Amino acid sequence: MKIVVPIKRVVDYNVKVRPLGDQSDVDLNNVKMAMNPFCEIAIEEAVRLKEAGTATEVIAVTVGKTDSQEQLRTALALGADRAILVETDSLLEPLAIAKALSKVIEAESPQLVILGKQAIDGDNNQTGQMLAALLNYGQATFASEISIDGNSASVTREIDGGLQTIQVSLPAIVTTDLRLNEPRYASLPNIMKAKKKELDVQPIDAMGLDTAPRMELLSVELPAARQEGIKVESVEELVGKLKNEAKVIS
Amino acid sequence: MSTLVIAEHDNTNLKPATLNTVAAANVIGGAVHILVAGHSCQSVADEAAAVGGVEKVILADDSAYENQLAESIANLIKSISSDYSHILAPATTFGKNVLPRLSALLDVQQISEITEVVSEDTFKRPIYAGSCIATVKSSDAVKVITVRATAFDPVDASGGSASVESISADGVSDLSSFVNEEIAQSDRPELTAASIVISGGRGMQSGDNFHLLETIADKLGAAVGASRAAVDAGFVPNDYQVGQTGKIVAPDLYIAVGISGAIQHLAGMKDSKVIVAINKDEDAPIFQVADYGLVADLFNALPELSEQL
């Protein structure tokens, strides 16, 4: 079984992102970039399926600029067998990314596609579901457990009230939630080996897709700041304030 | 101009997030219709018809929709989408699952988790865990949107008298099927609907210690939540998680206990009306958003708090 894992290069989760001075966009000058954390979980799950003998090949894919090769190399160091960069100079929206990914998946015809449920930059939570629609695949989003049985996968999903288990026919799209697994760290020998693995670059223009933006970013601003609070000295004072000042408990 | 709101329900009751979504639809303007897709869900359609300001309820009652799987629901919405300029769903796990699929079927770029309607084509939405607010303008003919429920005050659940129109199943898919569901049973209110939430973080040290929060929650009629760190540490299940990758809450009172205040957590609760932080580290970032901060060991403070309530 072949597994394709689309990943994304994003601002490292420890970076506090701020708007540019003219509020035209976020300020990404000189910030640390990393693989989106949910994508690390996706790579880990695919690699574990390979280690368990269920999968035979894991292919990491991303749609982005040349510098996204860095995150593909990380994926290779974590255990992916080869990587594909769909190269573009534009900042694409999720729908356009899903379209480009669908072309790669049509060409590779994997049995399973695992992606992160959302990227921590745009917080859109769209690409996996869109990809499933474009390919007419079943979708199992927000997965906390995946088991493959023959031509279908049984997936437990994190839903608002608890857990839901569904069965999807393969090929299918699965998006990862936090508790699916705990990703490993890349070892130095594996980082060295990753440099020699195949990384194929495909220009997006050759795919003949409509990737024109549908949204215009008008401005980026800081959220309204909260008024500064106070420190209380004791539980008694706290309860008094909540009752008499904030009036949120009686 | 007219808006279709996708109802969130469990085949018996309409979920409150639907009312917040209708509120967002009202700001956009034009007629508001609600789609109720489920099985044996007439009671939900009746509830939806009573929602203030709704013109029509469309009821698709079929066994294929019992578990509201994304493939069939997205096809159904697509089949009636040409009547609408806007299609809205709450940004719950249901809405987040279904709407992007619909949006790709319609070749539309979805706008996720809006917190403000600026005009019929322009919306505000948080990005980077709420560190920034983006204002975006959509050029798509149909706007497919998920709505952050906490950002819109709910409309009245009663006072409306919409007509109910039944439609038959369309585009039923067998790509996925339902196996089972484990819904956590609790006498406490739902996290996203509670007016008071008390959450624990890594400082709780174990899942067992969450009973300290539960005792207080029961006295206050509050829901219990957790930070991602507490979920990652295995103290509590993921459906407790408040934050960027969990639930977004904005109760009247939010009590954060043993939570340092990582940006991922703040993203899920900083719009609460009153925030209380209890933490023994006086430099914890949570104090920067707290209205009332108490620097104390939670294992002393919680029993004392419980006693005084």
- Report pLDDT digits (tens) over A144-175: 999 999 999 999 999 988 899 999 999 999 99
Mean pLDDT to the nearest integer, A231-238: 96
Q: With an 8 Å Cβ cutoff, is B109 touching chain A?
A: yes
Looking at CATH, the fold of the domain delimited by A2-221 is given as Rossmann fold (3.40.50)
Task: Quote the mean pLDDT of chain B.
Answer: 96
Closest by Cβ to B301, choosing from A17, A126, A235: A235
Least confident range from A122-131, A137-146, A155-164, B94-103: namely: A155-164
Better pLDDT: B246 or A199? A199
What sign for the dihedral angle of Cα A171, A135, A64, A35? negative
Looking at chain B from residue 153 to 212, which residues have their Cβ under 8 Å from any Cβ of chain A? 173-184, 190, 192, 196
> Average of pLDDT values for A56-61?
98
Instruction: Write down the pLDDT at residue A178.
Output: 87
pLDDT digits (tens, 9 = 90+) for A21-37: 999 999 999 999 999 99
Domain ranges of chain A: 2-221
Binned at pLDDT 50, 70 and 90, residue A94 comes out as very high
Residue B186 has pLDDT above 90, yes or no: no
0.80 exceeded by the pTM? Answer: yes
pLDDT number for residue B168: 97
- pLDDT (tens digit, 9 = 90+) per residue, B11-29? 999 999 999 999 999 999 9
Q: Residues B104-110: what's their mean pLDDT?
A: 98
CA distance A119 to A207: 24
Quote the ipTM score: 0.95
- DSSP codes of every residue in B188-254: SPPTTT-SEEEEE-GGG-SSGGGHHHHHHHHHHT-EEEE-HHHHHTTSS-GGGBBSTTSB----SEE
Distances (CA, A) of B111 to A46, A214, A222, B160: 30, 10, 19, 28
> Is A188 an 8 Å CB contact of chain B?
no
**B38 min Cα distance to partner chain A (Å):** 16
For residues A206, A117, A170, A198, the Cα torsion angle rounded to the nearest 10 degrees is 50
- Beta bridge partners, A227, equal none
Enclosing H/E stretch for A51: helix A37-51
User: Where do we find the tokens 């009247």?
Assistant: B252
Contacts of B245 in chain A (CB under 8 A): 38, 117-118, 120, 177-178
Task: Return all residues near A152 (Cβ < 8 A) that are at least 6 apart.
Answer: A167, A168, A169, A170, A172
Which chain A residues are Cβ-neighbours of B129 within 8 angstroms?
120, 123
